[in-house]
Amino acid sequence: MKETHDIYTVTIDALNQRGQGQAAIWRENEKGNKKKLKLTIPYTLPGEEVKVAVAKYAKRRWEHKAEEIVSPSADRVAAICPHFERCGGCTWQHWTYEKQLQEKTASVKRYLEEQDFSTDIVKDTIGMEEPWYYRNKMEFTFSKDGELGLHEPGNFRNIIPLETCFIMKGAMKEAVLEVANWAKEFELSGYNKETHEGLLRHVMVRQSFATKEMMIGIFATESPAQIKGIDTLVERITKNHPDVKSLIWLENRSVSDRVASEETHVLAGRDFIYDELMGYRYRLWFDTFFQTNPTQAAKLVELALDMLQPDGSEKMIDLFCGVGTFSLPLASRVKQLIGIEIVETSIESAKRNAADNGITNTHFLAKDARSGMAQIVEEFGTPDVLLLDPPRSGAGGKVMRRIARSNPERIIYVSCNPESFAVDVQQLIPFGYKLEEVQPVDLFPHTFHVELVAMLSKVEE
DSSP string across 315-371? EEEEET-TTTTTHHHHHTTSSEEEEEES-HHHHHHHHHHHHHTT--SEEEEES-HHH
Cβ count near 26 (within 10 Å): 8
| Distance in angstroms (rounded) separating the CA atoms of residues 265 and 126 | 41
Residue 187: is it exposed, middle or buried by C-beta count within 10 angstroms (0-12/13-18/19+)? exposed
**Which amino acids are annotated as binding site, given as ranges?**
291, 320, 341, 389
Identify the CA nearest to 147 among candidates 121, 120, 181.
Answer: 181
Cα torsion for 253, 258, 264, 268, to the nearest 10°?
120
Task: Summarize the annotated binding site for S-adenosyl-L-methionine as residue ranges.
Answer: 291, 320, 341, 389
Q: Given the residues 81, 165, 321, 416, select the one marked as catalytic.
A: 416
The dihedral through the CA atoms of 309, 314, 318, 322 has a sign that is positive
416 is catalytic: yes
Mention every residue, 6+ apart, whose C-beta is less than 8 A from residue 389. 318, 319, 320, 321, 322, 325, 326, 414, 415
Give the catalytic positions in this structure.
416
